[in-house]
Amino acid sequence: MLLYFLGHNSFMRRQTPYLLLALMLGALVSGCAGSTPVTEDDIKSREELRREGTAKIFGDDAFTLGSTSKNEAGGVGITVNSFLWRASLDTISFMPLSSADPFGGVIITDWYTTPDSTRDRLKVQVYILDRQLRSDGLRVSVFRQTLDDAGAWIHSTVSGQTIIDLENAILTRARQLRISSNDAQ
């Protein structure tokens, strides 16, 4: 009904663009609480959406030169991002490894007891989820057990900050490896 009125009243037809502009600005101001970063890759015209809203032969661009090229994921035996993979191994290398699957991108350590806290032991699982070097292409799980007075290992909680710090350490190492790789080329 409102749109019909706007479309068939000559005065309103002229004023509607300015009314919409005011509403847009008002909505933007009211929505300033939570910002989600948007890159230029997210801003697409109707024509660009048509062109890019389809699968491609190579899964991604036909070729990429530079840091996010598919050869990051290359190398025989590694189907996930190689920088994330190497960074993960480097970062948790002080712990004994239980298994490392380069095809699935899963690294599982054995239980590890720190010299400072012999009644605690920790186990880490790293999942690499993407072929690209992205901050959301990595997931870390940390498990902790505590030795009780009866000599049994009891599961206990791990701080979320510990997991975040460990993920950040891996990502930082991955970025360092990639920059080193580019410098070497």
Partner 1 sequence: MKNILLGSSALVGASLLVAVPVAAAEAPVLSFNGWTRVEVSGVDQDLTAGQGRGYQFEVDSHYLTWKAKGTADNGMTYGANISATNNAAGALSVDEAKLTFGLANEWGTVIVGDDDGADDVMMIGGFSLQTAGYGHDGGYTSNVNRGGIGFTGAFTSLVGDTSDATKVSYYTPRLNGLQVGVSFTPDSGNTFSTGLGEDNDGDFNNHLGVGANFKRTFGDVGVQIGSSMAVASTEPNSTTVGAASSLARDDLSSWSIGGTLSFSGFSIGAGHGDSGDSNCTKANTLCDQGDWWDFGANYKFGNSKIAIGYMNNESNVAGSAVGDEVDVWSIGLNHDFASAPGLRAWAEVTSFSGDRTGTASDNDATYIMIGTQVAY
> Rounded to the nearest whole angstrom, what is the least distance from the CB of residue 48 to partner 1 in the complex?
8
With binding defined as CB under 8 A, does residue 40 bind partner 1? yes
Q: How far is the CB of 185 from partner 1 (least distance, A)?
A: 9
Which of 1, 5, 38, 105 touches partner 1 (CB under 8 A)? 38
First to last CA, the chain: 64
Interface pick for partner 1 out of 78, 84, 124, 138 (rule CB under 8 A): 124
Check binding of 32 to partner 1 (CB under 8 A): yes
**Contact string (CB under 8 A) for partner 1, positions 66-85, x = contact:** xxxx----------------
- Report the C-alpha gap between 171 and 145 in whole angstroms: 26
User: Which parts of 91-120 interact with partner 1 (CB under 8 A)?
Assistant: 91-94, 112, 114-117, 119-120
Give Dmax over CA atoms of the chain in angstroms.
Answer: 85
**Of the candidate residues 1, 28, 152, 184, the single one contacting partner 1 (CB under 8 A):** 28
Phi, psi of 117 (to 5 degrees): -145, 85
Asked if residue 106 lies in contact with residue 181, where contact means CB atoms within 8 angstroms, the answer is no
Q: What value, to the nearest 5°, has the Cα angle with vertex 59 and ends 55 and 60?
A: 95
Does 160 help bind partner 1 (rule: CB under 8 A)? no
Q: Does 149 bind partner 1 (CB under 8 A)?
A: no
Given 1, 3, 150, 152, the residue binding partner 1 (CB under 8 A): 3
Identity of the residue, 46 or 103, whose beta carbon is nearer to partner 1 in the bound complex = 46
Q: How far apart are CA 150 and CA 143, in angstroms?
A: 20
Radius of gyration for the chain, computed over Cα atoms and rounded to the nearest angstrom: 25
d(CA 78, CA 80): 6
Cβ proximity to partner 1, 18 vs 103, nearer residue: 18
Phi and psi dihedrals of 140, rounded to 5?
-120, 135
Q: Nearer to partner 1 by C-beta: 77 or 116?
A: 116
